[in-house]
Amino acid sequence: MKLIRFGEFNKEKTGVELASGKKIDTSAFGEDYTEQFFETDGLARLEKWVAENEATAPVVGDDVRLGCPIARPSKIICIGLNYLNHAKESGMEVPKEPVVFFKATSSIIGPNDDVIIPKGSVKTDWEVELAVVIGKKASYVSEEDALDYVAGYALHNDVSEREFQIERSGQWVKGKSCDTFAPLGPYMVTKDEVKDPNNLNLWLKVNGHEHQNGNTNDFIFNVQHVVSYLSQFMSLLPGDVISTGTPEGVGFGYDPQVYLKDGDVMELGIEGLGTSKQNVKKYQG
Ligand code: ZN
């Protein structure tokens, strides 16, 4: 199943994209895609509802704005330097354990919303990533059991401000959390439809020029390892998002470095998880 949310920002309604590509409104199902939804086996209930109502549910037009496919999660946890070549291009050591940082949930936007270059920023950068959505509370889970705790997967652009992240001292969170820095979607694909999350092509273009083209089989720490690892330090709650790192080809890795500017267009995608497109605009006000 492919979960979508659509409509006005922060007032999104729920929907599902069917195998045919038709998008239907599931508002009448009566639940948003929240922690509570995932915790209480909502995916199974939704699947049953869709089977019974897909013929009569209202259709969502292709011109309707898509939002983040899940309701605001309790946290977004990101893994840094999780592809060998990206660690090298960043001039950083290949990590012995996953590099973990947070991204504020207030940075979440829809897949095709505008990305705003923050006030005073000159080093805003792109990062295509596989996002994992947690399906049930995970605490001290083993690698063997880790995928039992996953609800599904989504496309994420871990937009990053490199000066805030690296030059302004302290933790990376400052360069990762600006408003609009987390375009998620177009949909969340349930895990039964993703054969192997550790073998998916992913790519990103800016103004039609391809900068990133990798595969999650280059992960230093795969999805099972990351879920298990994080659960040793914190409880992962249903609906939480783990962003698994980006392959090489970010603007920071070029010599000279290349950063986003007003008017740029980012397009990205992951095999089986759809594509997204963001217009880049400068901060106003
Ligand atoms: Zn990242």
Structure confidence at residue 58 as a pLDDT band (50, 70, 90): very high
- Whether residue 185 lies inside any domain: the answer is yes
What CA–CA distance (Å, rounded) separates 93 from 10? Answer: 39
Same structural domain, 153 and 254: yes
259 CA → ligand 1 middle, Å? 15
CA of residue 32 to ligand 1 center, whole Å: 27
Q: How far apart are CA 83 and CA 251, in angstroms?
A: 16
With 90 as the cut, is the pLDDT of residue 91 above it? Answer: no
Question: Binning pLDDT at 50, 70 and 90, where does residue 80 land?
Answer: very high
Structural domain of residue 264, as residue ranges?
76-282
122 and 10 in a single domain? The answer is no
Tell me, yes or no, whether 43 and 175 share the same domain.
no
Give residue 88's pLDDT.
83
State whether 140 and 8 are in the same domain: no
CATH number for the domain including 170? 3.90.850.10
Q: Are residues 167 and 232 in the same domain?
A: yes
Per-residue pLDDT of 14-27, as tens digits, reads: 999 999 999 999 99
| Predicted pLDDT of residue 139 | 98
Residues 6+ apart with CB under 8 A from 225: 98, 143, 146
Between the CA of 128 and the centroid of ligand 1 the distance, in Å, is: 8
How many domains, the chain?
2
- 85 CA to centre of ligand 1 in angstroms: 14
Band of residue 89 on the pLDDT scale cut at 50, 70, 90: confident
Q: Which percentage of the chain shows pLDDT scores above 90? A: 96
Question: Domain check: are 152 and 34 in the same one?
Answer: no
Question: Would you say residue 54 lies in a domain?
Answer: yes
Q: Report if residue 40 sits inside a domain.
A: yes
Distance CA 26, CA 28 (A): 5
- At residue 92, does pLDDT exceed 90? no
Say if 244 falls within a structural domain: yes
**Nearest C-alpha neighbor of 143 from the set 243, 225, 79, 199:** 225
The whole-angstrom distance between residue 132's C-alpha and the CA centroid of its chain comes to 7
Quote the pLDDT of residue 180.
98
Domain termination residue (choose one: 10, 28, 60): 60
Report if residue 65 sits inside a domain: no
What is the Å distance from ligand 1's center to 156 Cα? 9
- Residues 148 and 100 reside in one and the same domain: yes
Q: What is the mean pLDDT of the chain?
A: 97
- 56 and 80 share a domain? no
Judge if 83 and 220 occupy the same domain.
yes
At 83, list the tokens.
């592809």
Cβ atoms of 154 and 188 closer than 8 Å: yes
**What DSSP letter does each residue of 24-75 carry, written as one string?**
EE-GGG---SSHHHHHTTHHHHHHHHHHHHTTTSPBPPTTSPB--SSPPPS-
Q: What is the pLDDT of residues 158-214, one digit of tens each?
A: 999 999 999 999 999 999 999 999 999 999 999 999 999 999 999 999 999 999 999
Q: How many CA atoms lie within 13 A of 267 on its CB side?
A: 5
Note whether 207 and 279 are within 8 A (CB).
no
**Radius of gyration (Cα) for the chain, nearest Å?**
18
Question: Helix (H, G, I), strand (E, B), or coil: what is residue 225?
Answer: helix
Cβ pair 226, 242 in contact under 8 A: yes
In degrees and rounded to multiples of 5, residue 147 shows phi and psi of: -70, -20
pLDDT at 117 over 90: yes
Rounded to an integer, what distance in angstroms lies between the CA atom of residue 9 and that of residue 21? 23
- The reply to whether 69 falls in a domain is no
Whether residues 151 and 11 share a domain: the answer is: no
pLDDT for position 190: 98
Domain boundary among 30, 60, 90: 60
Give distance in angstroms: CA of 244 to centre of ligand 1: 7
Q: Which residues pair with 116 in a beta bridge?
A: 281
The 10s digit of each residue's pLDDT in 18-53 is 999 999 999 999 999 999 999 999 999 999 999 999
Q: How far apart are alpha carbons 59 and 190 in whole angstroms?
A: 21
Residue 67 lies in a domain: no
146 and 15, same structural domain? no
What count of other Cβ atoms lies within 10 Å of the Cβ of residue 144?
9
In percent, the amount of the chain with pLDDT more than 70 equals 100
What is the model's pLDDT at position 195? 97
In the reported structure, the alpha carbon of residue 40 is separated from the centroid of ligand 1 by a whole-number distance in angstroms of: 30
Shared domain for 154 and 250, answered yes or no, is yes
70 in a structural domain: no
